[in-house]
Chain A
């Protein structure tokens, strides 16, 4: 609920009564203080941070979670964790909303009706007793990739008791191709850990290492560290869908999947000095790679077939990449997901499965279409599904067990390069869920407490355990890089058939579909299209013209009998003859937020064609209202986002950007203490949206829903603009500029937006009457208005889960970025109490903390030595709409690209 002056003023209550009734606003909290019974060590009102880790596809991102009075409120990256180095991705940020989501499953159910844990255990035990004789034959366990040593130990334990038990693994976004490719090349399945900081030249073939998959946060950090003009790397991207990696590339070619394979083959030929090829960029890339032996790298995307991955391993070996720019570590899994889930489904249909335990995941929704998992599930007498939500699979199983959120459980996890970290609970399960480990223990009659289980599995105790617990990582557990010899594998690329190819992609926000119930992610503008609350069939302008369809028109994508109707979206930079379908939408049971929106692309996807397949596309007639947060993606010659080539960047000198005297009718503000300022490096920004959602979490920013977003009422305090008409796609995060001569301040009739003594343009919610003049007068349009009482809307955090240091805004007031005032205040008070100045780096804004590439620097401008002051002196520095003389505190650094002179003509 939003605090409002009304609660304080009885006679004004009358005036606001209607509001109160209709919106449930302004209900005063009970005038009570409820102390503890037993005193606590930690004083209330002081935030604590605990290290834990979030696992996706068996690989973990280390995080530090803020706890206010025992309530998890914010996720930060763990600087000590190799996959994070202090940064986070959108999923980690959004996981706090997932934890508090009221739509999460709360009840253990048997065929839909509430049941007791005892009943489940009893039925399970009796079923297993029956199977015991045959060594547990007919007992199956389905998991995702297992990154937890604890779970591995538990499952091995079960396997000892029931030797005939079978384990299966399924991940909708599995890595079958790359792991199989590794097996072809090295004779064993291995994962790759890339070192982009060591790579001068990178060629990404249909790969998005900077925007997706295990370790991408670290990849992005490493990559960005090599983009400073002084020691700038060069990135070639060849892909069908304009990914983040493609946007960051110095050279990019868009090719349909089949053509990609030819391109790779041609590159290999060129590297071996064989016949030249007409395909673009091959020669240049090849020369560049060879010229930088030992400092170059080729990355293959999951979409490429195993043989292509094997070929890439061979190429990297020839380039001397292993040990330098790529290292190999034991695979996350030795199971081929597609085969595994297919086998399980076969056995289920054949009645060979008596008891099935599904630990997480949602196979009934995302298993390959040809497997028909859901149908097969009906043939299993005893099926148990442990999951956060009552989803499609829960509905198809006999039993559903509410699962504990990762912030509610003890476990362990493995980083993308193998380092082990501990998962510790921040809060007792809010809805009485059980962790996967507890579920297995419960059914397997294992008495040990989950915490002891983790300690046992990691062989940790005493001081070592406590250190690991505090740091969030277990020291020196990263496996030594494997030394492998590559074998020759024949690779003949699929011949380019004419006609359409469908490409399946993880959605940038709901991923494989597991995040569909998350309103923050639903409303997060997709990096490439700025679409929200929907997925779309992405095609190039040319292909759209061939279909005679425009954005929003419905098209039918068909593979034989199976067909999907989807709204079309024209995406600049998309390959011709290909249509990209983001997965994870069209959920039936994803709570009130995520159900029945978008279209489900899984029905077109089967084991054999996991990532792309030939298909037919035709106009289906009709249209669907897609909502984008940015209607206009051309710069119209105004150059809000500036770009320069490496040559220009190196020749440019600071003098050009020296602070010149500015004429103003207003006297300058006197500053006697700090002068907070921010600089955003467009050359580092990859447009991943981590800042946007981190800000949302830190500042209690509500979501508004699809319809409101379509009206242009999104509330994000820092939006990432995208422009397509530059020499390269440009991403530009736009928070409040904190102008020295702020147009908003002059026009507010009640002085609700004012300049404070540290130069921050603060918005005083409780004074705002909502004339909205400030927003009109803001040239950057960074102000957000509560047109309705959004903070009480669907899919919001309950008040316990929101940041207690930030006022929740009621309807009718303006809000905007204030440089995380609460964080500055926290630091100021601390410093003040200790009688010192705030130290450099003591204040880190939410967006800055989350940014994987450190594109955002923030600090005190009055200290010339501060990081932000130095960054602002860069010759690439510039001010957005400088001609308006608003003198912003937030400034930008121009994007630089490093094209290969040899490829200039291509």
Chain B
């Protein structure tokens, strides 16, 4: 089959022009402005929610005793999940020499960064006294006390901060050559100053390229294991707990698979409109979407296996509390959530067995959205239903979200969109230099 991405239609110059013009020349599209406006409004909602939250307390959410963890944790796990695909694509696929990745890694990494950043916000908002969040950091203080290392929340702190740092570096290093390109093409001193500042004086010498390549590769090697570690550790926040429905050894792989699943779903949800509006059909081709869809299908099957195993182990273990929670999910207060998420995450992706579905942009877009919703519901089901129905019947009580819960969830989606829309305006959404490489290599292949 034709392994080519660009089909020889593009040369060095045209690629560079095309992508850099997205940033430097392209006038603001009214749709972009509209999206930016909506996203901005939602972001303000989030900020408003945060002010009110800090002012009066986490009581504005639906959290209660026994369900002391609410949307904050659900959203945290969800966003972290979304923040997986990017680094996975860049690092893993780079190491695996999957050239086609070159045209999607840049924005996928941006997505990762924004998602992981937003995810990092939630645990802080979640705290009863958020202004003391830094007590999870080990530092010598006047109280002579340290974090309690047996708590997965402390590991979590390190997992997330490490992941964020490495992702950021990886993304930034990858940007340097392109920043230089923009610096050289930008008009107006300011733009050139700014791009120039971040380009760190890149001059594209052979020496630069050599060091760049090795640094990039090293970072990729560093980032790859983190993709696995971060969500495994997030999953320990639950697996370590003794709550029936949390206390399960399958969680780490199950969570990682889930993360990639909704991560790739989000890649589709973003790539499809982007290629349409920025006219990138030649760079992000049907073949990319097809590959992404295949990964979606594969990870979807892993997640399905996870669901099956959860139920199986519950009954196989014979533990009356595990069985009770398994049955409660199917028949109890949260049954609608359970069955919906099973449909969205297990049934819907099966469509992707058909090549036509994988190559239908609309279908992929819809599936992407549905899977993201499904995965959010999965996290909701794990976090809330388990707590609402644990050991002592006298303590059973469901969690009912308040308006603030929903508002702040919507707000975080808004913030994500805002950041991404800003990104496509100020930075090359695709990696210029890697596209040039692609041009070169495909020439080779062509000969």
- B391 near A783: Cβ-Cβ < 8 Å: no
Q: Which residues of A contact B151 (CB under 8 A)?
A: 746-749, 773
Tell me, rounded to whole Å, the shortest Cβ–Cβ distance linking B110 to chain A. Answer: 30
Tell me, rounded to whole Å, the shortest Cβ–Cβ distance linking B156 to chain A. Answer: 8
- B128 near A811: Cβ-Cβ < 8 Å: yes
Q: Could you say which of A12, A640, A771 contacts B126, with CB atoms under 8 Å apart? A: A771
* Interface mask (A742-754 → B, CB under 8 Å = 1, otherwise 0): 0100111111000
Tell me, rounded to whole Å, the shortest Cβ–Cβ distance linking A682 to chain B. Answer: 14
Tell me, rounded to whole Å, the shortest Cβ–Cβ distance linking B242 to chain A. Answer: 5
- B63 near A787: Cβ-Cβ < 8 Å: yes
- B64 near A18: Cβ-Cβ < 8 Å: no
* Interface mask (A240-262 → B, CB under 8 Å = 1, otherwise 0): 00000000000000000000000
Is chain B's interface secondary structure helix, strand, loop, or mixed overall? loop
Smallest CB gap from A530: residue in B: B394
* Complex: A838 Cα to B193 Cα, angstroms: 75
User: Known: A747-B150, A881-B391. Is A785-B68 also a contact (CB below 8 A)?
Assistant: yes
Tell me, rounded to whole Å, the shortest Cβ–Cβ distance linking B286 to chain A. Answer: 46
- B393 near A751: Cβ-Cβ < 8 Å: no
Q: Which residues of B contact A788 (CB under 8 A)?
A: 56-57, 59
* Interface mask (B48-71 → A, CB under 8 Å = 1, otherwise 0): 000100111111001111111100
Q: CB of B295 within 8 A of chain A?
A: no
Q: Which residues of A contact B62 (CB under 8 A)?
A: 711
Q: Which residues of B contact A6 (CB under 8 A)?
A: 131
- Of A32-40, A203-211, A426-434, A625-633, the segment with at least 4 beta carbons within 8 Å of chain B is A625-633
- A749 near B394: Cβ-Cβ < 8 Å: no
Q: Which residues of B contact A768 (CB under 8 A)?
A: 128-129
- Of B12-20, B29-37, B132-140, B412-420, the segment with at least 4 beta carbons within 8 Å of chain A is B132-140
* Complex: A640 Cα to B321 Cα, angstroms: 13
Q: Which residues of A contact B153 (CB under 8 A)?
A: 747, 749, 771, 773
Q: CB of A780 within 8 A of chain B?
A: yes
Q: Which residues of A contact B145 (CB under 8 A)?
A: 750-751, 767
Tell me, rounded to whole Å, the shortest Cβ–Cβ distance linking B335 to chain A. Answer: 17
Tell me, rounded to whole Å, the shortest Cβ–Cβ distance linking A616 to chain B. Answer: 36
- A776 near B68: Cβ-Cβ < 8 Å: yes
Q: Could you say which of A713, A750, A777 contacts B242, with CB atoms under 8 Å apart? A: A777
- A772 near B243: Cβ-Cβ < 8 Å: no
Q: CB of B392 within 8 A of chain A?
A: yes
Which of A633, A640, A713, A779 has the largest count of B CB atoms less than 10 A from its CB? A779
- A713 near B65: Cβ-Cβ < 8 Å: yes
User: Known: A711-B62, A812-B129. Is A21-B242 also a contact (CB below 8 A)?
Assistant: no
- B387 near A721: Cβ-Cβ < 8 Å: no
Smallest CB gap from B390: residue in A: A779
Q: Which residues of A contact B146 (CB under 8 A)?
A: 751
Q: CB of B240 within 8 A of chain A?
A: yes
- A787 near B59: Cβ-Cβ < 8 Å: yes
- A750 near B54: Cβ-Cβ < 8 Å: no
Smallest CB gap from A746: residue in B: B150
Which of B132, B147, B151, B246 has the largest count of A CB atoms less than 10 A from its CB? B132
Q: CB of B395 within 8 A of chain A?
A: yes
Smallest CB gap from B56: residue in A: A22
User: Known: A767-B145, A772-B63. Is A22-B131 also a contact (CB below 8 A)?
Assistant: no
Q: Could you say which of B55, B154, B391 contacts A22, with CB atoms under 8 Å apart? A: B55
Q: Which residues of B contact A632 (CB under 8 A)?
A: 393-394, 396
* Complex: A750 Cα to B133 Cα, angstroms: 10
User: Known: A636-B324, A776-B243, A786-B128. Is A18-B51 also a contact (CB below 8 A)?
Assistant: yes
- A636 near B393: Cβ-Cβ < 8 Å: yes
Tell me, rounded to whole Å, the shortest Cβ–Cβ distance linking B97 to chain A. Answer: 41
Q: CB of B152 within 8 A of chain A?
A: yes
Q: CB of A154 within 8 A of chain B?
A: no
- A775 near B394: Cβ-Cβ < 8 Å: no
Q: CB of B356 within 8 A of chain A?
A: no
- A21 near B394: Cβ-Cβ < 8 Å: no
Q: Which residues of A contact B64 (CB under 8 A)?
A: 711-713, 787
Is chain A's interface secondary structure helix, strand, loop, or mixed overall? loop
Which of B66, B128, B146, B394 has the largest count of A CB atoms less than 10 A from its CB? B394
* Complex: A18 Cα to B391 Cα, angstroms: 38
Q: CB of A638 within 8 A of chain B?
A: yes
Q: CB of A23 within 8 A of chain B?
A: yes
Tell me, rounded to whole Å, the shortest Cβ–Cβ distance linking A100 to chain B. Answer: 25
* Complex: A640 Cα to B393 Cα, angstroms: 9
* B-contacting residues, A781-823, CB 8 Å: 781, 783-789, 810-814
User: Known: A712-B64, A746-B151, A750-B136. Is A781-B390 also a contact (CB below 8 A)?
Assistant: yes
* B-contacting residues, A848-894, CB 8 Å: 880-881, 884
Tell me, rounded to whole Å, the shortest Cβ–Cβ distance linking B318 to chain A. Answer: 12
- B393 near A635: Cβ-Cβ < 8 Å: yes
* Interface mask (A726-746 → B, CB under 8 Å = 1, otherwise 0): 000000101000000001001
Q: CB of A757 within 8 A of chain B?
A: no
- A789 near B320: Cβ-Cβ < 8 Å: no
User: Known: A746-B150, A811-B128. Is A780-B59 also a contact (CB below 8 A)?
Assistant: no
* Complex: A635 Cα to B143 Cα, angstroms: 45
- B391 near A884: Cβ-Cβ < 8 Å: yes
Q: Which residues of B contact A748 (CB under 8 A)?
A: 148, 151
Q: CB of A634 within 8 A of chain B?
A: yes
Q: Which residues of A contact B57 (CB under 8 A)?
A: 23, 786-789, 811-812
- A631 near B58: Cβ-Cβ < 8 Å: no
- B147 near A19: Cβ-Cβ < 8 Å: no
- B392 near A23: Cβ-Cβ < 8 Å: no
* Complex: A378 Cα to B390 Cα, angstroms: 59
Q: CB of A538 within 8 A of chain B?
A: no
Q: Which residues of B contact A291 (CB under 8 A)?
A: none
Q: Could you say which of B55, B56, B65 contacts A781, with CB atoms under 8 Å apart? A: B65
Q: Which residues of A contact B65 (CB under 8 A)?
A: 712-713, 775, 781, 783-785
Tell me, rounded to whole Å, the shortest Cβ–Cβ distance linking B94 to chain A. Answer: 35
Q: CB of B241 within 8 A of chain A?
A: yes
Q: CB of A15 within 8 A of chain B?
A: yes
Q: Which residues of A contact B150 (CB under 8 A)?
A: 746-747
Smallest CB gap from B50: residue in A: A18
Q: CB of B99 within 8 A of chain A?
A: no
* Complex: A768 Cα to B129 Cα, angstroms: 8
Q: Which residues of B contact A767 (CB under 8 A)?
A: 135, 143, 145
* B-contacting residues, A547-584, CB 8 Å: none
4 additional A-B pairs beyond A732-B394, A747-B240, A749-B154, beta carbons within 8 Å, are: A630-B394, A750-B147, A769-B132, A785-B68
* Interface CB pairs A-B, < 8 A, 7: A18-B55, A22-B56, A638-B391, A750-B132, A769-B129, A781-B66, A881-B391
